[in-house]
Structure 1
Amino acid sequence: MFSSFDVKIIIDELKNEYNMVGMKVDKVYKIGDEVRIKLYGRGRRDLVLKPGIALYATSYPKPAPQHPAGFAMQLRKHLGGLRILGIEQVGFDRIAKIEFGLFGEENLTKYYVILELFGDGNLILTDEKLTIIGALSQKVWSTRSVTTRERYAPPPAMSSPYEVDPEELIDGETEIVRRLANTMNIGGIYAEEICLRAGIDKRDHSPDPDKVREGIRALLALPPSPAIVNGDVVPFDLLVHEGKERQPFSTLNEAADELYGKHELEQIAKKEVSKKEKQLNKLERILATQQRTVEDYEKKSEQAQQKGNLLFAHYQFVDELIKRFYTAIKEKGWDATQSRVNADKRLSSIVKRMNEHEGTINVELDGEEVELDITCSLNENAQRYYERAKKFKHKMKGARSAIERTQQSIERTRKEDVVVESVEKKQRRKREWYERYRWFVSSEGHLVIGGRDARSNESIVKRHLEEGDIHVHADMTGAPQVILKEGANASEDVLHEAGIFAVSFSKAWKMQVGGLDAYWVHPEQVTKDAPSGEFLTTGAFAIKGKKNYLKKLPLEVAIGIYKDKVMCGPITAVEKNCETIVRVVPGPRSKEDVAKRLQKMLDWDDLDEVVQALPPGTCAIVEK
């Protein structure tokens, strides 16, 4: 279960280490006690929300449920296609608030998803005004309610260790460890840690406030040291855990994913192994029953056949016996005939039973008891036994077919691979810093980067345009800011490539124009100072001085694999750097459809990476 410190640190990791802000929602699933939001846009990631327990990005995939839960479908309906605009902790509480909406010059918030990690936990969907649309669990308390159409309100805020006055924590009546844990909502472990670092007795009711202050400062100054200790994730190396086994991780998210993601998959795998064993046991019990049934049918078939044969073997005797008994019973009745049999020692040794209700007598022939219907002839009695033998043979055939099917089921079940050790992380390659932008490597080895949207256009110039670089831009609005790194001494061919890149990733691609001009300038010519009477929006810059034009550049690119990355850029650059290339031009097909074909042509696993590399608009592949 996450502490407030865990929530604070993991949210920071999700934003900075895992770059989740800006990623787009693909699907939402509820799997067991967790809601999994599948994201794309910078590779693919699964954000796991476990109410009352944790949140983290997982590297362990889980199969989607066959029948999505109602709340998951509600989340998918509202969040599908939107981007994560922000993730924040509510105060210093165990509450995470995730903002979803649309990117633009001014972000448009559409919805919030609020994850409560205290108590039993909850997951709440609200609109942009925090009006509740739906919740995993709707509840009412004395201080607040979580019900649809109500405005979401968190529980009453508690003190934060970053702001608390230690003197307020001491009441002279309560153990300091309890006051620390409850007043600041940090839990017992961190309350004990403060006491240890302050050098005070945790049972003291009136410790020195200055020592308490020093203990809090010491805790807050601890460097990150994520680990799993005693079955919990912890972000710091704590004195309370001294002497206990620590399993260290580079990030708290990795620790949480190991504890919850991998552990739960291992439990699922163990359940699958157990399920397989139970299924095998069940099938083997069925097989044993079916084999006994076949043996029983075979025995009964043989007995019926033998009894029919016995009747013909003693034909004259049995025929005469049936006739005599039929006449005697007809004239004197069953009781009188039974009395006569009982009185005749020889006859009673042959006739074993008489059944008035069934109209039968049982006789012994060669040590085998045979039932005879006295209203039927010997041939009819024998035929009845032969029919019975035939019936059991037919049943034997069906039972043997059932045995064959069961044996096949057992073989299939035995061949199913369910191995606990197969639980492995989905490995993600380390992304280079420039992959957050559009990029390519020129035919002469220069890195060229371009913005993807207004926000990245702003950051690319402010962070990455340096002395010695060249700034390139299509001669129209709605185009990316492009930087040719170390381009001051680049050849005309490379400048031409950067220009093609700038026009191909502009809105001219969507307009499907035949060609477009671009220009290049030096870094000192690019400014955020707008001309008099004008206003520069996010991602827009003004140019001072002369522009160097590149005329009538074609809108066409090529795509290929460069050092385990999908690279899309001018044909000459991609031809130089990639073994297999495919030419792409503006066209009638959606980018997603074209990307699926390119994925096969390039033999590349990550479809999303192909989609992200292509220009913004419909495309066509130029066949060889």
Structure 2
Amino acid sequence: MIKKSMDILDVYSWTNNFGKQIIGCFIENIYFTGFYWLIKIRCSGKGKSYLKIEPSIRLHISNIEPLEKKIDKFSSFMRKHIRGARIIDVKQLGWERIIELHVKSRKNEYILINEILPRGFLVLTNEKYSILYANRFQELRDRIIKRGNKYTPPPGRIDLLKLDDTKLLELLREGKDLVRGIVKGWGLPGYIAEELIYRAGLYEKKNYKIDMVEETDLYTLIHMLEKIINEALNGKGYLVKLDNKPHIYTSYEPKLYKELYDVSVEKYDKLNHVLDIYYSEYEKRIYYEQRTIKQRILIEKIKKNIDKQQKIIKKYIEESEKYKEFSRTLVTNYNLLEKILECVNKTRKTSGWDKIVENCPNIVKYYKDKGTVIVKFNEYEIPIDIRLNAWNNILRYKKLSGELLKKAKKAEEALRELERSLEEAVNKKQLIQRRTEIGIKPRLWYERFHWMITSEGFLVIAGRDIDQNELIVKKYMEPHDIFLHADIHGAPATVIKTHNRMPSQKSIKEAAVIAACYSKAWKEGFGAIDVFWVYANQVSKTPPSGEYLPKGAFMIYGKKNYVKTKLELAIGIEENCDPIYGLYQKIIVGPEELVANKSIVYAVIVPGDIGIGEVAGKLIRSFHKKLEDHAIGITKNELMYRLPGRSRIIGIKRGKTPLITGC
């Protein structure tokens, strides 16, 4: 991934296409993920999505859930001022990589400014650009980013859109050669410069000095600039892949990469979609680096300890062998050793220590304070304790050799333990990597509801509350769909999306499990309940004359078809290998047979008295145990979101879907 941030063409394209699409949307909440801010927005007729805002890097709409959401001081401040506000405008500041979100709350207007520049800021100001908060406060040479100060952008680049050909040509001459002329004079990155030169048919002259290039060719280059800017305005996106991994993305067709390099180029109708794909890979890398810092430090520490331990073992073994040779040499020269000791003790008493080397054979040194002499036998110089007899000197070295050998063996045991620790640490690091990779996943429109895909491929959605019940019936239910409802007050409006196909009784019975298990019957501890189903055209929001229908209530006309449904829900983990998002895991729910066929592991639950937090925790632990070393990218919160209420686990089983080991 060589592209670190959105370039000027990306910003121009995104602002003019996708920025306009979020005008009128409402800000529901703001979070911080550790390296970027996440704004949850709700758009009329489009549902909810996220704005991912990272100073210096990007701003785009996303359907991909981050691995973690938290609140920092800035997100807390934004919640206080702009949560609930409506986005009234999105604009690019001049020809800069700066995007302004203008929002209006009940009382005030605010501007959230994201600088997609090196060391860029994220700044919240009032409508007069007075700074209220920023991702950091700093006094710079050319501006001050502090509370109360007026926001001023960094010294700007020239607006290429407002320049005529003569001025563009003049700027081009600022560079030493063609590439640097575009980079320096027009302020475009090197890969766009090369694309322009390639399109102008001047690729072989890219390193030529400007005055060596024909003026007509330079005007062709200017024409290509205009063309590529207009191309970016179309809003399409291109993803360049090297070895099947995202390498770079563009808002124009990258003909240079397509025709000269051994890469694949994927075209998408929307640049925003490309941004989401590219930065999901970037997020995985950042999360992985953040989550493995401690593990990497631990691995390095263990490696150093292993190296240290190996040196200790080597030293113990070498010294043990040395003392073993000493004892063998002394045994071989036993008679001579006795004579040497006799001579040393006699000389010490009659003539003193100073005469020992002179009078006694094989002695090269002595240490009066230690009571030892150094005796040379062949290549060895062996310290001999004069207080011991010959045999005890030999035994001393045998004992020392044995003690060091024992120490070496203990050190080897410690080494093996360190090596085991290293293997565990490396495996854990790899597991974190895998969990990170599979933890980032796309969030689809229907996932805000209770949902399920039947064994025949029909989507089932059910409301989580009265508002969602109303929304499903009014907006998402179409004439050929099927409506289900548990025969109890306090149940979700459940709809099978048929797309003009008629589901079989099997799919209807599977959908009935959702209607039953997410109803009040679960909280009441029922064992089973009747669920009725009707066609969508039998459901109406129009009450009989003179009557009133409260919010979330509906009139059903005609025959009801009943399905006796057991309150038993399977909840499992499904793995997906997606050509765009890669490998990721999702929680699926439904009847046991359905979930077993689609999952890698699952549990069966019934109404009980254990809180959803405790149940979710038990499920996570049980799933880990069941899958052994296979990574799980599902969080406790995700499980809690899918549980119907207080429950009891009656079984944990492996699903019938094989584990995905490569994607």
Pairing partner for 1:174 from 141, 155, 170: 170
What is the alpha-carbon distance in structure 2 between the residues aligned to residue 157 and residue 458 of structure 1? Answer: 52
Counterpart for residue 411 of structure 2:
402
What is the alpha-carbon distance in structure 2 between the residues aligned to residue 372 and residue 562 of structure 1? Answer: 75
Pairing partner for 2:265 from 244, 248, 270: 248
Query: Given the superposition, is the C-alpha separation of residues 385 and 436 from structure 1 closer, same or farther in structure 2, using an over 3 Å criterion?
Result: same
Pairing partner for 1:237 from 248, 253, 273: 253
Alignment of 1:225 onto 2:238:
yes
Displacement after TM superposition at 1:462 (Å): 4.4
Tell me if the contact between 1:10 and 1:252 (Cα under 8 Å) persists in the aligned partners: no
Alignment of 1:449 onto 2:448:
no
What is the alpha-carbon distance in structure 2 between the residues aligned to residue 372 and residue 442 of structure 1? Answer: 88
Helix, strand or coil at the partner of 1:227: strand
Displacement after TM superposition at 1:118 (Å): 0.9
Helix, strand or coil at the partner of 1:323: helix
Displacement after TM superposition at 1:460 (Å): 3.0
Query: Given the superposition, is the C-alpha separation of residues 557 and 252 from structure 1 closer, same or farther in structure 2, using an over 3 Å criterion?
Result: same
Helix, strand or coil at the partner of 2:260: coil
Displacement after TM superposition at 1:311 (Å): 6.8
Deviations 1:313-364 (A, max 9, x none): 67578547633551344xxxx77x68xx97xxxx576776677777777778
Counterpart for residue 578 of structure 2:
none
Query: Given the superposition, is the C-alpha separation of residues 310 and 122 from structure 1 closer, same or farther in structure 2, using an over 3 Å criterion?
Result: farther
What is the alpha-carbon distance in structure 2 between the residues aligned to residue 522 and residue 353 of structure 1? Answer: 108
Q: What amino acid is the match of 1:221?
A: N
Query: Given the superposition, is the C-alpha separation of residues 183 and 507 from structure 1 closer, same or farther in structure 2, using an over 3 Å criterion?
Result: farther
Q: What amino acid is the match of 1:298?
A: E
Counterpart for residue 582 of structure 2:
none
Pairing partner for 2:7 from 3, 14, 22: 3
What is the alpha-carbon distance in structure 2 between the residues aligned to residue 594 and residue 601 of structure 1? Answer: 12
Displacement after TM superposition at 1:394 (Å): 2.0
Counterpart for residue 140 of structure 2:
141
Alignment of 1:590 onto 2:611:
yes
Once the two structures are superposed, the pairs formed by residues 93-492 of structure 1 within 5 Å of their partners are: 94=97, 116-122=115-121, 135=135, 137-141=136-140, 144-147=143-146, 149=147, 153=151, 155=153, 166=162, 171=167, 174-175=170-171, 203=218, 216-221=229-234, 223-228=236-241, 232-239=248-255, 243-245=259-261, 246-249=263-266, 251-253=273-275, 256-257=278-279, 260=282, 283=306, 287=310, 290-291=313-314, 293-303=316-326, 307=330, 315=338, 319=342, 322-323=345-346, 325-329=348-352, 379=388, 383=392, 386-387=395-396, 389-406=398-415, 409=418, 426=438, 434-439=446-451, 449-452=461-464, 456-457=468-469, 459-469=471-481, 481-483=493-495
Pairing partner for 2:570 from 560, 582, 585: 560
What is the alpha-carbon distance in structure 1 between the residues aligned to residue 125 and residue 490 of structure 2? Answer: 33
Tell me if the contact between 1:89 and 1:95 (Cα under 8 Å) persists in the aligned partners: no
Counterpart for residue 206 of structure 2:
none
Query: Given the superposition, is the C-alpha separation of residues 563 and 369 from structure 1 closer, same or farther in structure 2, using an over 3 Å criterion?
Result: closer
Q: Provide the aligned length of Structure 1 versus Structure 2.
A: 563
Q: What amino acid is the match of 2:322?
A: K
What is the alpha-carbon distance in structure 2 between the residues aligned to residue 155 and residue 622 of structure 1? Answer: 58
What is the alpha-carbon distance in structure 1 between the residues aligned to residue 542 and residue 190 of structure 2? Answer: 52
Q: Which moved more, 1:386-395 or 1:4-13?
A: 4-13
Tell me if the contact between 1:352 and 1:363 (Cα under 8 Å) persists in the aligned partners: yes
Tell me if the contact between 1:231 and 1:259 (Cα under 8 Å) persists in the aligned partners: no
Displacement after TM superposition at 1:28 (Å): 3.8
Counterpart for residue 621 of structure 1:
648
Q: What amino acid is the match of 2:646?
A: C
TM-score (norm 1): 0.57
Query: Given the superposition, is the C-alpha separation of residues 499 and 305 from structure 1 closer, same or farther in structure 2, using an over 3 Å criterion?
Result: closer
Helix, strand or coil at the partner of 1:460: helix
Unpaired runs of 5+ in structure 2? 41-48, 175-180, 202-214, 575-585, 597-601, 652-663
Deviations 1:205-262 (A, max 9, x none): 9989xx9866643442374333258953223214565633243245524762587468
What is the alpha-carbon distance in structure 1 between the residues aligned to residue 380 and residue 458 of structure 2? Answer: 102
Tell me if the contact between 1:449 and 1:483 (Cα under 8 Å) persists in the aligned partners: yes
Query: Given the superposition, is the C-alpha separation of residues 85 and 567 from structure 1 closer, same or farther in structure 2, using an over 3 Å criterion?
Result: farther
Deviations 1:48-106 (A, max 9, x none): 876534578799999x9xxx9xx9976899999x9999999663654578999xxxxx9
Query: Given the superposition, is the C-alpha separation of residues 475 and 348 from structure 1 closer, same or farther in structure 2, using an over 3 Å criterion?
Result: closer
What is the alpha-carbon distance in structure 2 between the residues aligned to residue 357 and residue 621 of structure 1? Answer: 79
Helix, strand or coil at the partner of 1:449: strand
Tell me if the contact between 1:471 and 1:482 (Cα under 8 Å) persists in the aligned partners: yes
Tell me if the contact between 2:200 and 2:220 (Cα under 8 Å) persists in the aligned partners: no
Tell me if the contact between 2:31 and 2:71 (Cα under 8 Å) persists in the aligned partners: no
Tell me if the contact between 2:606 and 2:648 (Cα under 8 Å) persists in the aligned partners: yes
What is the alpha-carbon root mean square deviation over aligned residues? 7.4
Task: Return the index of the structure with the highest Cα Rg.
Answer: 1
What is the alpha-carbon distance in structure 1 between the residues aligned to residue 154 and residue 469 of structure 2? Answer: 41
Helix, strand or coil at the partner of 1:2: coil
Tell me if the contact between 1:441 and 1:448 (Cα under 8 Å) persists in the aligned partners: yes
Counterpart for residue 91 of structure 1:
92
Q: What amino acid is the match of 1:620?
A: S
Q: Which moved more, 1:192-201 or 1:444-453?
A: 192-201
- Sequence identity, in percent? 20
Helix, strand or coil at the partner of 1:120: coil
Helix, strand or coil at the partner of 1:175: helix
Displacement after TM superposition at 1:449 (Å): 3.2
Displacement after TM superposition at 1:437 (Å): 3.1
Unpaired runs of 5+ in structure 1? 40-44, 101-105
Q: What amino acid is the match of 2:153?
A: P
Displacement after TM superposition at 1:576 (Å): 8.8
Deviations 1:11-62 (A, max 9, x none): 989999xxx9999999944xxxx569899xxxxx999876534578799999
Tell me if the contact between 2:491 and 2:518 (Cα under 8 Å) persists in the aligned partners: yes
Displacement after TM superposition at 1:549 (Å): 11
Query: Given the superposition, is the C-alpha separation of residues 278 and 485 from structure 1 closer, same or farther in structure 2, using an over 3 Å criterion?
Result: closer
Helix, strand or coil at the partner of 1:233: strand
Once the two structures are superposed, the pairs formed by residues 54-73 of structure 1 within 5 Å of their partners are: 54=58
What is the alpha-carbon distance in structure 2 between the residues aligned to residue 441 and residue 365 of structure 1? Answer: 87
What is the alpha-carbon distance in structure 2 between the residues aligned to residue 576 and residue 386 of structure 1? Answer: 76
